[in-house]
């Protein structure tokens, strides 16, 4: 737990509002080890939480107004009566917490609140910064109301905020990961059934690490081709007469433009299952080729990669990474590489050199360690 960051949020709240917050709630970003674009197709995913978190310091208001501020801004950016919240009313990042308040009001959470937000999840990096903000906001508002609904209900409400208020047609992967992941584990989630299993994941024990390569090419799921891909999957399922692509084994009989989408989903689900099998057998190094195959499928079949992500994956593998792939929605963001710890420096240098050779901005790189999920923090400032 980073008490310093929680105290920072609480201190900023006190400076802005003159009193300490009732509490600070936080939620992590995530890395999806494998299982991309399968969640909204009722498939399998395998994420883990990262140490980077979004924190929300909060106190209730009696007037039904919600105010939003960030530590960086130091001033209230949004102040709206809950009853007047509607899609399009909040600018930029504020749409995410406003959307959560909008959805929770429908669930009976009608009290106003002052919220001050801080965090270190890189924005636009494919590490689920928006969902960490939404989940932390949901926990704060529910906590102020004295409510403790199930994590599955919270995940669905956050999804509704993302889909209906923000306008991004996301699935359940990111919010579920932020809520449910645990330290030293990956979360093996069957989206169709909701069944989840915490699978131990300790790459360092085997001399390996998961290197995150943030290309610094910011992506937006609202503005990208994410929605188009999802609609293609839904159309394919409709033509095949099944509820989702989880129920199919191949793309035969579909229009040519839909076949690659289905092929990716089917093979990606298979890769998730194989990865879980290998991890349970402590055969960590053997998941590398599965990561590389996932990237090739996302690049060639699903067509959501970009040149920066391709360069990151290729450069990492060229320097000795056991496998690498893009993560998240695509069209920018981050890649991950499974790297022997003793050559980490070489891999980092090779990726940096490749980016410089292409004229790209320097990437941001760090080792991702499976960390705790969303929670109420303990801090001295609240």
User: Any idea which residue has 């040519």 for tokens?
Assistant: 256
Can you give the pLDDT of all 382 residues of the chain as single tens digits? 455 666 789 999 999 999 999 999 999 999 999 999 999 999 999 999 999 999 999 999 999 999 999 998 778 888 999 999 999 988 889 999 999 999 999 999 999 999 999 999 988 888 999 999 999 999 999 999 999 999 999 999 999 999 999 998 888 999 999 999 999 999 999 999 999 999 999 999 999 999 999 999 976 555 568 889 999 999 999 999 999 999 999 999 999 999 999 999 999 999 999 999 999 999 999 999 999 999 999 999 999 999 999 999 999 999 999 999 999 988 899 999 999 999 999 999 999 999 999 999 999 999 999 999 999 997 765 6
Give pTM, 2 decimals.
0.92
Which strand ranges, in their side-by-side order, compose the sheet holding 323-326?
Answer: 323-326, 334-340, 208-214, 364-368
pLDDT at 220: 58
- Give CA separation, 290 vs 44, 284, 366, in Å: 14, 11, 21
Domain boundaries along the sequence of the chain: 3-194, 202-368
d(CA 129, CA 14): 24
Q: Please answer whether residues 135 and 158 qualify as being in contact, where contact means their C-beta atoms are separated by less than 8 angstroms.
A: yes
221 burial level (CB within 10 Å; 0-12, 13-18, 19+): buried
Asked about 202 being catalytic, the answer comes back as no
Cross-strand bridge partners of residue 88: none
Q: Please answer whether residues 218 and 92 qualify as being in contact, where contact means their C-beta atoms are separated by less than 8 angstroms.
A: no
Pick the CATH number of 3-194 from 3.40.50.150, 3.20.20.150, 3.40.30.10, 3.30.230.10: 3.30.230.10
Closest CA to 170 of 37, 264, 302, 44: 37
User: Any idea which residue has 């994420």 for tokens?
Assistant: 47
- Give CA separation, 180 vs 16, 30, 107, 172, 358, in Å: 32, 11, 21, 12, 39
Closest CA to 28 of 373, 348, 376: 373
Catalytic residue among 11, 39, 174, 214: 174
Pick the CATH number of 202-368 from 3.30.2130.30, 3.40.309.10, 3.30.70.890, 3.90.1150.10: 3.30.70.890
| Sign of torsion over alpha carbons 219, 222, 223, 229 | positive
């Amino acid at each position: 737990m980073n008490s310093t960051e929680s105290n920072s949020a609480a201190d900023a709240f006190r400076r802005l509002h003159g009193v300490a917050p009732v509490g600070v709630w936080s939620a992590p970003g995530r890395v999806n080890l494998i299982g991309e674009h399968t969640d909204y197709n009722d498939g399998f995913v395998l994420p883990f939480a990262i140490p980077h978190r979004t924190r929300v310091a909060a106190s209730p208001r009696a007037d039904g107004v919600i105010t939003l501020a960030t530590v960086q801004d130091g001033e209230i950016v949004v102040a709206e009566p809950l009853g007047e919240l509607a899609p399009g009313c909040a600018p930029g990042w504020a749409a995410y917490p406003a959307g959560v308040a909008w959805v929770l009001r429908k669930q009976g959470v009608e009290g106003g609140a002052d919220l001050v937000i801080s965090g270190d999840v890189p924005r636009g990096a494919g590490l689920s910064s928006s969902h960490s903000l939404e989940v932390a906001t949901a926990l704060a508002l529910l906590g102020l109301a004295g409510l403790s609904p199930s994590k599955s209900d919270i995940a669905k409400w956050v999804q509704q905020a993302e889909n209906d208020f923000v306008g991004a047609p996301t699935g359940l992967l990111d919010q579920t990961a932020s809520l449910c992941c645990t330290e030293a584990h990956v979360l093996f989630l069957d989206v169709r059934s909701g069944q989840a299993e915490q699978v131990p994941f300790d790459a360092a024990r085997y001399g390996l690490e998961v290197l995150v390569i943030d290309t610094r090419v910011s992506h937006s799921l609202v503005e990208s081709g994410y929605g188009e891909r999802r609609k293609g999957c839904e159309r394919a399922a409709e033509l095949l007469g099944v509820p989702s692509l989880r129920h199919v084994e191949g793309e035969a009989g579909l229009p040519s433009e839909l076949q690659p989408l289905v092929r990716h989903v089917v093979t990606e689900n298979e890769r998730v299952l194989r990865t879980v099998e290998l991890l349970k057998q402590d055969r960590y190094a053997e998941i590398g080729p599965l990561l590389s195959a996932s990237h090739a499928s996302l690049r060639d079949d699903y067509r959501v990669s970009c040149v920066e992500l391709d360069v990151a994956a290729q450069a990492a593998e060229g320097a000795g990474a056991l496998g690498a792939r893009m993560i998240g929605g695509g069209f920018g963001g981050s890649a991950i590489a499974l790297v022997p710890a003793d050559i980490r420096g070489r891999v980092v240098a090779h990726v940096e050199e490749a980016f410089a050779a292409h004229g790209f901005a320097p990437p941001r790189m760090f080792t991702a360690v499976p960390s705790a999920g969303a929670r109420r923090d303990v801090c001295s400032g609240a």
